[in-house]
A and B are shown apart, each in its own frame.
Chain A
């Protein structure tokens, strides 16, 4: 089995209200060195052994469902198998 972690965030050009609000809160903590906060979500998707092309499957799932390309973008990584 392989688990893929897919990260979805707003495109850089799109205003992220949560990120802006959290950034303000961080500044209130005194960390004025923080320039930007981006909020997103991630999906851990676990595939069984029958997957022949993980990359194709992840692309299909992300682009047809998990991501709205009008406003969002994504990246993913294959997680290390559990020991």
Chain B
């Protein structure tokens, strides 16, 4: 399985995701520039955190126009795994692969700390190595992570079990329904504000992010819908 890590101008967690997958999990990983137009040969694509295009206009709004975007959409439509964390999640909503939007934290503060999460759905290719409803700790680091969608969209996400991660005990940003991460209906696109790639070795403060990368390496590609 070969994994692409997309590098946008302003990405700053690209190395973290690369090393989590390559050094820690032993996966075959390559950086791919936002200027590239093809992801042929890759089985999964990672959209890293950071501040792509300086967060101009809205977080993730300009990245949607990068040359690489049509190739990412193609991979999603083929059932290949697409993962975005933090700014990557914001980009996935702006490009329409995930519903809703990420708005400024209710506190208006940039929040950088470990938070408790509940794994709400372990039947996705990204979470199969977690126990259902297990509580984990991952770092967050964002100023615009408050998940918002209209009530019909929220209801649909809940009914379809598309809420994959939920903040436990404390909601750090004002996200509706304490939502920390969601997947698409098919389950092959996941976006989340917390950073699993920053929790893959004990020296980093914990390893609760490791099962996510091992899960996606287990699965590779989601089978085409029947």
Contact = CB atoms under 8 A, between A and B. Distances in A.
Interface residues of B, number: 19
Contacts of B150: 13, 70
A17 B148 contact: no
A17 B106 contact: yes
A68 B101 contact: yes
B129 interface: no
B96 to A, nearest CB: 10
B107 interface: yes
Contact of A65 (B57, B104, B107): B57
A1 interface: no
B149 interface: yes
Contact of B103 (A13, A14, A66): A14
A66 B62 CA distance: 10
B162 interface: no
A13 to B, nearest CB: 8
B12 interface: no
Interface in B142-192: 148-150, 153, 174
Nearest to B174: A15
Contacts of A21: 108
A68 B60 CA distance: 11
Contacts of B104: 17-18
A17 B110 CA distance: 13
A44 B174 CA distance: 31
Q: Which of A10, A17, A18, A21 has the most CB of B within 10 A?
A: A17
Chain B contact surface mostly: loop
A78 interface: no
B219 interface: no
Contacts of B94: 68
A54 interface: no
B101 A71 contact: yes
B54 to A, nearest CB: 15
Contacts of B105: 17
A10 to B, nearest CB: 8
A66 B57 CA distance: 7
B148 A65 contact: no
15 contacts: A10-B103, A13-B150, A14-B148, A15-B174, A17-B105, A17-B174, A18-B108, A21-B108, A65-B61, A66-B57, A68-B61, A70-B93, A70-B99, A70-B100, A71-B101
Interface of B: 57-58, 61, 93-94, 99-101, 103-108, 148-150, 153, 174
Given A14-B103, A18-B104, 17 more contacts: A14-B148, A15-B174, A17-B105, A17-B106, A17-B107, A17-B174, A18-B108, A65-B61, A68-B58, A68-B61, A70-B93, A70-B99, A70-B101, A70-B149, A70-B150, A70-B153, A71-B101
